Structure 1
Amino acid sequence: MLELIAKPGAQRGFTLLELMVTLAIAAILASIAAPAFNGLIESQRVRSAANDLMGSISLARSEAVTRNTSVTVAQASGGWNNGWTVSVGGTDLRVEGALNGINLTAGLTSFSYNSSGRATSAVSFTVAPDSGNADRTRCVAVSLNGKPSSNKGAC
């Protein structure tokens, strides 16, 4: 019959062999999960960049109406990848820095909102990961009526 009570002086715990097998299984499972996790991180990075851009565009529109004057959204020196500024006159309202791991492209170097909240020109931004994976690309567009929108996929 099986004894359930440990004998005095008997060792309890894991053997080295059991520990090595457990670590090997954990390493195999981690190597399977890592590529999927990288994809998740890349998707969230693109979504975060698109949301930052949408926030800056919404701020520009709101400030144009509030201040009853034109507000400009312009790329930083070197392109949209290096960031952008929201400014009125000579005053910067928001300055966004460079985006890591993201390619941000647009057909214009800047655009403005007039005092009624309408954009002076329509513009589309393509927010894509550096890997070039088209499945994770987002499009941020501003129509002439000034309303920004964000959609999954290329512009």
Structure 2
Amino acid sequence: MREKSSRGRDARCGQRGFTLPELMITIVIMGILAAIAIPAWNGIMRQRQVDSATGQLVGDLRLASTKAANQLTPWAVSLTSGSPSYQMEASGSTNPPITHRLDGAEVTTTGTITFQPDGSLSSGSPTSIGVAASGGSPSQTIHIDPATSEVKAGG
């Protein structure tokens, strides 16, 4: 048989639990912290998507420049504003263009960037390319030096 304390409770139940008001206050505080943290987390995730998409496009632009120099044939990268996709192809190729898709981001520039075998850009090629999260913000810009075809991501 269990022993009773002077208050009528089991003697082995000397442990205390949480009261209902304590639990409710904890849940309210956790809700407030979540309400503050979730929008900030979403902003960080959108920035990471734009950073990743920018890195992917920079890499593909550098690849097109390298292929133009190695294969001694112009390579073009076609961009459409508002589209998450872009295409790469060698000039005069009978192969279908290579299509790439940016996850969670889109290109904000329309035009065709053509890399020449001598390392330059064709006249009329855009030298600044915008990449933004689907919906517009945040964004980054890719810059291409027309003389050297050097591709840099920034701001």
TM class by shorter chain equals: 0.7 to 0.9
The residue aligned with 1:3 is none
TM-score (norm 2): 0.75
**2:151 is the alignment partner of 1:148:** yes
User: Alpha-carbon deviations, 1:102-143, whole Å to 9, x = none?
Assistant: 34222x42121122232213421112234444xx32111222
Identity of aligned residues (%): 26
The residue aligned with 1:112 is 114
Structure-2 separation of matches of 1:31 and 1:73: 42
Q: Secondary structure at the match of 2:83?
A: strand
Give, as a single letter, the amino acid of the residue that structure 2 aligns with 1:70. P
Mapped contact 2:140–2:153 kept (Cα < 8 A):
yes
Mapped contact 1:83–1:99 kept (Cα < 8 A):
no
Mapped contact 1:46–1:137 kept (Cα < 8 A):
yes
Q: 1:65 aligns with which of 69, 92, 102?
A: 69
Q: Which has the larger radius of gyration?
A: 2
CA RMSD between the two structures: 2.5
Structure-1 separation of matches of 2:133 and 2:98: 24
The residue aligned with 2:17 is 13
Structure-2 separation of matches of 1:126 and 1:27: 37
Aligned residues: 141
Question: What are structure 1's unaligned runs of at least 5 residues?
Answer: 1-5
**2:46 is the alignment partner of 1:42:** yes
Mapped contact 2:77–2:89 kept (Cα < 8 A):
yes
Structure-1 separation of matches of 2:78 and 2:42: 31
Q: Secondary structure at the match of 1:81?
A: coil
Q: CA deviation at 1:94?
A: 4.1
Q: CA deviation at 1:16?
A: 3.5
Q: Secondary structure at the match of 1:126?
A: strand
Q: Secondary structure at the match of 2:39?
A: helix
Which structure's residues are more often strand, by fraction? 1
1:81-96 superposed matches below 5 A? 81-88=83-90, 89-91=93-95, 94-96=98-100
Structure-2 separation of matches of 1:131 and 1:53: 19
